[in-house]
Amino acid sequence: MKKLINSPESVVADALRGMAAAHPGLRVEAEKGIVTRAGAAAGEPAGKVALLSGGGSGHEPLHAGFVGRGMLAAAVAGPVFTSPVPDNIAAATCAVDAGAGVLHIVKNYTGDILNFTMAAEDCEDEGVKVEQVVVDDDVAVARTEHGPGRRGTGATLFVEKIAGALAEEGAPLAEVAAVARKVNANARSYGVALTSCTTPAKGSPNFTLGEDEIELGIGIHGEPGRERRKIMTAAETAEAMLDAILDDLPEAAGAPVILLVNGLGGTPPVELYIMRAEVERVLGERGITVARSLVGNYVTSLDMAGCTLTLCRADEELLRLWDAPVDTPSLRWGC
């Protein structure tokens, strides 16, 4: 294992200390994994809904990279691929509450759901109103009545951006939560891996792929996918990924979409832009217009090579909120 780390045990705290040095406008409690906006941590402005998200580390810039104007008031980082503990989530929630309540944006993993729920209960005992929105956009996992259900992946970014814009306008907690759920209901994602990732603690790949193999339907915690194939061209890969997404989002035809072509940490931009071109071609052939798009590493899986695609059906409200100003370490426009 070759990584620029000091020790597997100190990875998260060391990274957060670096984030504090790079972005002095943030308040960082490295040992607790808490990152907040300076103003939000002081309860400003009074009467505005605060957004908080978090989860296991290893997905950077998600979530701490999206703390700032127009998105999150706070993010809480756990150990690599492990949920933060309830006490730290609760401390961050109470710190950013400005009297209008806090929206927890939670990816659909068992540990995250349990720990965020316990934290919310503790905060409500202290008089802080908390709403929870669960993101479950990964179509590689079937919807079932049993088990944890679909994983939360790239749509988390869409939820944080759009709900964050509405909160910035001063909307009440119920409305901010409603638009977050609207985004999640209209978003679908699918991932492909060319290699596994290597966690600092394990020191070896989570799974093994042959030199001529790819894994379709992977998760962002290094989970193997649902199908292994011989390596395909970018065009064939885009078609396979979009087939899976659009089979689950049939109403997308004829509607504008917001698109995320997301690198998983080990794929160079040149390959992501090739995928962006192929996605444009496939969607155009199916009568779907890309109204807005992002290309880059936004929801990663350490050093995994591959990408995820996320589509969100967008109406005028969602596009307006997407276009609203945002100023965070990893997403910025209109400022």
Nearest to 106 by CA among 97, 95, 94, 119: 119
Sign of the C-alpha dihedral computed for residues 41, 301, 299 and 180 taken in this order = negative
* Structure tokens belonging to residue 272: 């992501």
> For this structure, is 59 an active site residue?
yes
The one catalytic residue among 23, 63, 104, 221: 221
* Structure tokens belonging to residue 264: 């998983």
Where does residue 65 rank: exposed (0-12), middle (13-18), buried (19+ CB within 10 A)? buried
Rounded to 5 degrees, φ, ψ at 97 are -65, 125
Q: How far apart are CA 151 and CA 136, in angstroms?
A: 5
* Structure tokens belonging to residue 259: 């698109």
Query: The tokens 């000091």 sit on which residue?
Result: 6
Helices 316-323 and 155-168, interaxial angle, to 10°? 80
DSSP secondary structure letters along 269-303: HHHHHHHHHHHHHHHHHTT-EEEEEEEE-SS--TT
> For this structure, is 23 an active site residue?
no
- Cα distances from 83 to residues 57, 58, 310, in angstroms, run 8, 11, 23
Residues catalogued as catalytic: 59, 221
